Amino acid sequence: MTELPSDNAIDTPTDGAEGAGGAPERSRHFIEQLIDEHIAQGRWGTAGDPTVVKTRFPPEPNGFLHVGHAKSIWLNFSLAEQYGGSCNLRFDDTNPLKEDDLFVRSIVNDVRWLGFRWDGCDETGADPLAGVKFASDYFRRMHDWAIELIEKGLAYVDEQSSEDVRKQRGTLTEPGQASPFRDRKPEESRERFEAMVRGDVPDGGAVLRAKIDMASPNMNLRDPVMYRVLNAPHHRTGSDWHVYPMYDWAHGLEDSIEGVTNSICTLEFEAHRPLYDWFIDAINRGRSDPEKIHHPQQTEFARLSLSYTHMSKRYMRQLVEEGRVSGWDDPRMVTVAGMRRRGVTPEALRAMCAEGGATKFNALVDFGRLENAVRDDLNKRAPRRMCVIRPLKVTITNWGEYGDAGRVEMMTAVNNPEDEGAGTREVPFGGTLYIERDDFMEDAPKKFFRLKPGGEVRLRYGYWITCHEVVKDGAGEVVELKCTYDPQTKGGDAPPADAEGNVRKVKGTLHWVEASTAAPVEVRLFDRLYTAERPGKATGDHLDDLNPDSLEIVEGALLEPNWRTTEVERSSGTGAFADGIERFQFERQGYFCVDPDSKDGLLVFNRTVTLKDSWAKAAKGEGGR
C-alpha cells in the first residue's frame, strides 16, 4: 500500500511549471500528489492513464446537506473531473430508523444545484435518480461476504447485551476482554446469523462481530460490530432484511463493488482506515488473485469548519424544532437549501472550497471568506437596481417650473458596470421621490456628505437636488424633505461652469425611487446566526451565542418598477443564473434575491450579503455594525 507523504505536506509547488500566460500553476495538494503517484505506478490499471480515477460522494439520507458536505462534494467531484475519471453519488442507506426518500430527493437536488454530475446521471434532470447508487443495492453481497468471514473464523455472533459488549471493549490504556462467544464454532455462528437475517432474533438480541484483536491500541479493531438486528422496514427494501450492516463494514465493500479508486473521507475516519483495509483483506484471504475483490485507497482530509456557524445536525434540528429558525431552508442556516434560498450561488460555494483546497489539518475558516466569494461572483453577474428600504419622502418644489408638474421623466441607468453588454434600462423620475431615511441628517457633522438642510447631493442617474425645508410630524419625526432640483444636471452630470468658470461639485450620491411607480416590497435583512466565532465554546450552549439581530423584516420598502432582469442582460451573462433564482445588487445596499414567499402584490427579497464586510470592520474596533 502506498503511504501518505510522511510530512503530511499539503501543497507542493510544481517545480517551476507554468500555466497559461506564463503564470505559475497552482501547487498540488496532498491528495493530488497521492493520485499522481498511483497513476504513475499503474496501481489501478495502465500506468499513466488518469481516467481510471473513480471517486464517490456517499451521504446518509437522514438529513439535509450543509456547507461542510459541499466541501466533500466539491473535492470528490472535482478530482474525478480533473483526471477525466468519474464520481458516483451513493446513498449509505444502512439505518432504516433514520432514513427517508425525502432526504434522498433533497440531496440529489443539492448536488445538481452545486453544479456536479455523477456517473450515469440524466443530464436533463428528467430522471433525477438515474445513475444514483444505494448501499442497499449491495445488501445481498455484503451478507454473503459476512458468511464467508464466519466460515473463515474471522467473524462470530455475539449474544451479549450491548452494555456488556461496551464494558468489555476496554479503554485507551487497558485492553479489552474477549466475549464468551468469541470462540464459538463457525457453524454455530452461521446458524445464529441466519436466524438474525430471518427475523427470529429481537432487536438488540445479537450482533455479528469481526474477530480481530481485543488488545489493539486502535479501539476500532477490538472486534467491531459488523451487523445489528433492526426489525424495521427500509425505505427501499421494505421488510426484506432484519439485519443491517454497520458503516465500517459496509463502507469499504461499497467502494470495492463500485470500483472506487480513491475513497476520500474526513479526518475523523483516519483511525478507521485500518479497519477499512482489514475487512477487504479478510475477504481476499485465501483467494487467488483473479478472485480477489478490488481494494480502494482510503484517504482523509480536514472537514470544512466555518466561524459563526454550527454544523451539528443535532444543534440544527434543535433550532428548527424550537422555532428559532423557520425551517431547514431558513436563509440563516448553513444547509445547502438555506444558502440557496439566501441567494448564495453554487459558483461562490465552489470557489470558496477551491480556495481552501484539501489539507490534513483542522482549521476554522472565517465565514467572511464565503461572503467574499459571494460578493466576487455577484459583483460580476448581478443586475443593479435601486431599492429604498426605509423610505423618506422628497418633494421637488420647483418641478412644475420646468414643465408639467405631474410629468415623469425617464432616466437612463446602467444595468451592470462590470458588463458593458448588459445594456441600460429606463428609470422614472418625478416631482415626488423617496430616498433612504439614513441618507438624511438634520444636524449633520462636517463630514456627512449625504443630504442635510441647505446641502446638495446627486441622485444617481437623476438630478442634483438641494434641501431647503424639513417637514416633521407631531412627534417631531422627519416625514418629508422639500427640495429643489437643477434641470441642468440630468443624468447626474455636473452643471455647466458659471460665468467665472467655476464648476459646482457635490460629494454625495444617493439612490432613490419615484413615488408613483415604485413597487412596494418586503425586505428581509439576514445576518450571521451566531455572534461568536465558535458558538457555545464559552458557555457550553450554542443557544447562548445566537444573534438576536440575525433577521430584520422591513415592510414598506420601495423598488424601482423596471426591476425584472431583461433579455439583453441575460444574453450578456448578467442575471443569467442557472438555478433560476433572481439575484440583484440593490445599489449602495447589498446583494438580494427574490424569496419563494413572494406572491402577487407583494415581492419579498432576501439580503444575501452586504456590499462590505461590516463584521471585519467591527472586529478591528472601527465602529459598530
Catalytic residues: 60, 303, 313
**How many C-beta atoms surround the C-beta of residue 449 within 10 A?**
14
Q: What's the per-residue H, E or C state across 389-415?
A: CCEEEEEECCHHHHCCCCCCEEEEEEC
CB 131 within 8 A of CB 57: no
**How many C-beta atoms surround the C-beta of residue 549 within 10 A?**
10
What are the Cα distances from residue 508, in Å, to 201, 210, 436, 553, 563? 78, 74, 13, 28, 24
What are the Cα distances from residue 581, in Å, to 326, 372, 381, 533, 620? 20, 20, 13, 30, 35
Q: Which residue has the cell 419563494?
A: 596
- What totals of helices (H) and strands (E) does the chain contain, helices first? 14, 29
Q: State how far the Cα of 157 lies from the Cα of 168, in Å rounded to an integer.
A: 15
Residue 438 CB partners (closer than 8 Å, separation 6+): 390
- Long-range contacts: 70-73, Cβ < 8 Å, 24+? 70/114, 70/304, 70/336, 70/349, 70/353, 71/303, 71/304, 71/353, 71/356, 72/264, 72/266, 72/303, 73/111, 73/114, 73/116
Q: State how far the Cα of 506 lies from the Cα of 139, in Å rounded to an integer.
A: 74
> Cell digits for 271?
483511525
CB 248 within 8 A of CB 218: no
Q: State how far the Cα of 134 lies from the Cα of 127, in Å rounded to an integer.
A: 16
Which of 325, 328, 252, 278 is CA-nearest to residue 92?
Answer: 252
Give the up-direction half-sphere exposure of residue 187: CA atoms within 13 A in the CB hemisphere: 0
What are the Cα distances from residue 260, in Å, to 141, 270, 469, 506, 527? 17, 18, 74, 65, 41
**How many C-beta atoms surround the C-beta of residue 293 within 10 A?**
15
